[in-house]
Amino acid sequence: MRLIDLAQPLRRGMPQSPNHPPFRMILERRHGDMVRSDGGSAANEIIITGGHVGTHVDAIAHVSQDGLVYGGLRPDGITSHNGFSELGIDAFEPYVGRCVLLDVAAVHGVPTLPAGYEITPDDLDKAAAGLDPRPGDALLIGTGWSRLWDDGPAFTGHSGGVPGPGEAAGHWLAQRAPRAVGGETIAFEHLAPGKGHATLPVHRVLLVESGINIVETMKLDELLDSGVRDFTLVLNPLNVVGATGAPVRPLAVIDGE
């Protein structure tokens, strides 16, 4: 079998949403700062990160609408200084199962969709042709956007926007009852030029109305180039009790190679 790592590398200064604290990793102790009697020494670091930085999974508790989270729950009833007692990322059961990659960039005959392009249900119908997504599968949307990872301003799309599903495409995804959905951008969904994260209707449709987890900032370029569209996905975010999201290192397991 072949394994493809679907996580972006965690590093200082990497592209991320402005809504979350930046990732930082510093060496707290260097070799030689403390030397044991036998001459041995160890280096170690401090890592500071938000739960929604780099490749990560959104917990169901991440978003509310009109004062309610999924299931009609009031957030204040399930929230404390320790986080969420329900719907946090610790409620996500590790997933090992079928995944379908909906390559919308290929539908348009381009390696990367234009900045600010809104993916439609028709795009998803064409990308899903012959793949037969089933309830409980994981669904990933290929935009080619991870090819821009090394160009921070372009990747975050503050001025030009970011491609992704619009609200109608969000309903298309929810109607197929996937275990989780994922994409290459920091917000998963369409961001119009100059609008930033002003509104995120697809998060409402998936998290609040449907209870479907979202995986963001995935590295899909190698998978897109492989031509594989149906494979096994391993998805297991860090088990941070009460958190609204957590880093993850998804793996595509491709048989027969």
String of DSSP letters for 108-149: TT-SSPPTTPEE-HHHHHHHTTTT---TT-EEEEE-SGGGGT
Specify the 3-state DSSP secondary structure of 182.
strand
Q: Using alpha carbons, select from 207, 250, 213 the residue that is nearest to residue 75.
A: 207
pLDDT at 107: 97
Q: Is 202 helix (H, G, I), strand (E, B) or coil?
A: helix
Residue 132, pLDDT score: 94
User: Where do the structural domains in the chain lie, given as residue ranges?
Assistant: 2-7+51-254
- Per-residue confidence (pLDDT) for residue 257, from 0 to 100: 56
**Predicted pLDDT of residue 212:** 98
User: Tokens 């309610």 belong to which residue?
Assistant: 68
Spatial distance between the Cα atoms of 4 and 21, rounded to a whole number of angstroms: 28
Q: What share of the chain is helix, strand, coil (3-state, %, to 5)?
A: 20, 30, 50
What 8-state DSSP symbol labels residue 34? B
From 4, 68, 32, 20, select the one nearest 246 (Cα to Cα).
Answer: 20
Q: What kind of fold does domain 2-7+51-254 have according to CATH? A: Glucose Oxidase; domain 1 (3.50.30)
The reported pTM is 0.95
Q: How far apart are CA 38 and CA 122, in angstroms?
A: 67
Q: Mean pLDDT of residues grouped by 10 in the chain (257 residues)?
A: 96 91 95 95 96 97 96 95 96 98 98 97 98 97 97 91 97 98 96 82 98 98 97 98 97 87
Neighbours of 110 (CB within 10 A): 13
Please give the pLDDT value at position 44. 96
What gap in Å lies between CA 104 and CA 134, rounded to an integer? Answer: 18
